[in-house]
Amino acid sequence: MSTSTKNVIGLCQMRTTNDKKINREQVAELVSRAKGKTNFLFFPECCDYVGTNVEETKRLSEPLTGETVQFYKDLCVKNQMWMSFGGVHECIINEDGERNEKICNTHIIINSEGELAGVYRKLHLFDVDTPEFKFRESKIVKPGEGATKPVTTSIGSIGMQICYDIRFPETPIWLKSHGAQIITYPSAFSVSTGKAHWDILNRSRAIENQCFVISAAQFGKHNEKRSSYGHAIAVSPWGDVLAECSEELEVQFVEIDLEKISKVERNMPCFKHRRYDIYSMEMKTANQLESKESEQAFMFEKYPINCQTIFYETEHSVAFTNIRCVVPGHVLVATKRSIARVEEMTHDETKDLFVVACKIAKVLDDYYEAKSTTITVQDGEYAGQTVKHVHCHIMPRKPGDFEHNDEIYVKLNEHDSKNVKEEKRPMQVMIDEAKIYKKLLSS
């Protein structure tokens, strides 16, 4: 989306409390200072509020459709800016309409049209003992279910992280390999860990991934129990500190020149030197099916699969209910890419298919109270493959489900043959079944 290699961003630093009104005024003040100087602002973790205790932190949380995020959206539209709000307290609404016991620590990017361009829920929760306090983020926060791919924005491709995530180098490597030019760590670092590690962690992530790192920050005393280090920072792909805030309400302006990435990569092509024949970097991505179901059918070779029968999806694989079942719970897991033979699969596709198959097999075993599972791939016509698209059958097994155990393979060969007499299952039955599996997998 960015048409220029050079863009100026605003790096924000603020000190929030449990007063959401005053916190919004701080955000508006920083936007006012930045207007006319940048089209992209980065705000820190807890930009909505910092609660004084567990109950208040949960009570003040809002869904992403709440008035706080709407306030942010209105600011983006009014000022024609993109903004990153790195760690709002997201209230989770259960299917029964009630609030979940836990919330999410959620990083959002909003475009100049007031639309959510990116959503990332914090993966690594801050359960540590620092010299200042004992902190157990997992007491109230539900961890994210997967990584979020880089977001295409007006200034380049942004990889979204939050605070404590900076200590885990695997995710930024994955983000970089998926095209991230900028990785952002909006934070509320504790004072002791900030003094010891903040600068070196930000510079390390920039150097090893040859990208820009932008980390907006909280500063100062939020309440009697909690203070933040401040020192919001921006780092170049070479590890140079481009800007650093002190310890006050502040916005600093930084030029992001994407050509610097290309120069560093040309001189030191580290990612080309990575030994993918020895190691790989596979990452589960957040399942988007729960929030937005595609209206487009998945093509299983030449056969369209109703999207409502799909109950699990990853970057490389898709799982769906079957038109005929050899045993109750018989489902299929297929590669997203339309390929006929196992030999055509990439390393990542091979790994992902088996990981997904194992995950689903475990859930179905528990649901059907099965004692074993038959997982099989028919690789080619003479192995019994009738649909020329790599897939595996997952079939929960119970004692005595067949007189002779291997009879299941005979039934499997028959169930999709041209001469099969068994009727296809009603579509609504398959859809209802998919809803059950989807709920089990998301719990």
Question: Which positions are catalytic?
Answer: 391
Please indicate if the annotation marks 231 as binding a ligand: no
Beta-carbon count within 10 A of 56 CB = 14
DSSP lists the bridge partners of residue 321 as 331
Rounded-to-integer distance, Cα 415 and Cα 424, Å: 10
Phi, psi of 203 (to 5 degrees): -65, -40
Beta-carbon count within 10 A of 430 CB = 21
Residues with Cβ < 8 Å from 9, sequence gap 6 or more? Answer: 38, 40, 41, 42, 155, 214, 234, 253, 254, 256
Please indicate if the annotation marks 193 as binding a ligand: no
Please indicate if the annotation marks 404 as binding a ligand: no
Please indicate if the annotation marks 252 as binding a ligand: no
Please indicate if the annotation marks 288 as binding a ligand: no
Please indicate if the annotation marks 393 as binding a ligand: yes
Token readout for 255 is 């030029």
Beta-carbon count within 10 A of 293 CB = 12
Q: Which of 435, 415, 315, 427 is nearest to 367 (CA)?
A: 435
Burial of 214 (0-12, 13-18, 19+ CB in 10 A): buried
Question: Does residue 224 contact residue 232 with C-beta atoms inside 8 Å?
Answer: no
Phi, psi of 101 (to 5 degrees): -65, -25
Rounded-to-integer distance, Cα 142 and Cα 38, Å: 34
Q: Binding site membership: which residues? A: 322, 378, 384-387, 393
Q: Binding site membership for substrate: which residues? A: 322, 378, 384-387, 393
